Amino acid sequence: MPAERLRAIWALMSLNGFLPLKRQPLFMVNTLTSPFSFLFIIFILGGPGAVPIGVAGGMVLTVLSIGTSLQADLTHYKQDLKFHEMAVASPVSAGTYVMGLALSEFVYSVPGMAVFIVLSLLYTHYVFLGGLLVFGTLVLLWVFASALGFTLATYLADVRETFAISPLISIALTVIPPVYYPASRLPAYLQPIAYLAPTTWAANLVKGAMGLAPITLLSAFEDMLVLAAAAAALFIVAWRKAQWRES
């Protein structure tokens, strides 16, 4: 990757990630509220035995929140600050712009992910390969979440619209699908519908890597393929809709 692109990515990460956190650390706390709230409820209702499932779901929700935050920031920069127009007029490419902002959102999630990783090591016993699978799944989920945020931002004309859409996304992708509970709890006729959500596939991978659900090499490959395909499809839609410089 050229040095100019790396500098641009770092500048965007600093602008939208490190500097806001330095000025207002409460931003970091905000990213922890939803996943840990669900974990607390699961612990109260299900006891310590239900915590591992809650930890797996918390990982998925924490990474998915990157997409909803990216959606709001991209809309804000484009519609309110007109920063998007400045980026278009600069030598920065669309890929570099989105990559820098997506990584800046990841900065907010690092503390929460660190806590969930520690909890997963305390409550489950997965080997090195399981850790690699969790890491690979979360990276793919981050790509999907970033693609989702980028796609939604291209269709929104006001940042206030994100306040209505973001909660619906969280419900549709992490509350209703079997992310915080086993897929086997659903009736047989609802399970195919649950797999329409890419987060179901991600949760299956994380649970399988942590030893909480059965998993095979073939099923892991299929789950990762679905996540990658969903992210690619969203990026294609957004790329066709988004306006960048003419070339």
The counts of H helices and E strands in the chain are: 11, 0
The DSSP H or E segment spanning 238 is helix 217-241
Nearest CA-CA partner of 183 in 171, 196, 170 = 196
Domain span holding position 124: 3-241
Residue 200: per-residue pLDDT? 92
- The answer to the question of residue 211 being in a domain is yes
- Whether the Cβ atoms of residue 162 and residue 72 lie closer than 8 Å to each other: yes
Nearest CA-CA partner of 11 in 104, 91, 88 = 104
Task: At 109, list the tokens.
Answer: 């999630």
Task: Report how many domains make up the chain.
Answer: 1
Residue 243: per-residue pLDDT? 61
- The answer to the question of residue 164 being in a domain is yes
- The answer to the question of residue 230 being in a domain is yes
* Spatial distance between the Cα atoms of 221 and 76, rounded to a whole number of angstroms: 37
- The answer to the question of residue 62 being in a domain is yes
Residue 96: per-residue pLDDT? 86
* Spatial distance between the Cα atoms of 139 and 118, rounded to a whole number of angstroms: 18
Reading the chain (247 residues) residue by residue, the pLDDT tens digits are: 578 889 989 999 998 888 888 887 777 777 777 788 888 888 888 888 888 888 999 999 988 888 888 888 888 888 877 887 888 778 888 788 888 988 988 888 888 888 888 888 888 877 778 888 999 999 999 889 888 888 888 888 777 777 778 778 888 898 889 998 888 888 888 888 889 999 999 999 999 998 888 888 898 999 999 999 998 898 888 777 766 654 4
- Whether the Cβ atoms of residue 63 and residue 199 lie closer than 8 Å to each other: no
- The answer to the question of residue 247 being in a domain is no
* Spatial distance between the Cα atoms of 186 and 181, rounded to a whole number of angstroms: 9
In 10 A of CB 94, how many CB atoms? 16
* Spatial distance between the Cα atoms of 223 and 228, rounded to a whole number of angstroms: 9
Residue 1: per-residue pLDDT? 57
* Entry pTM: 0.86
In 10 A of CB 20, how many CB atoms? 17
Residue 247: per-residue pLDDT? 43
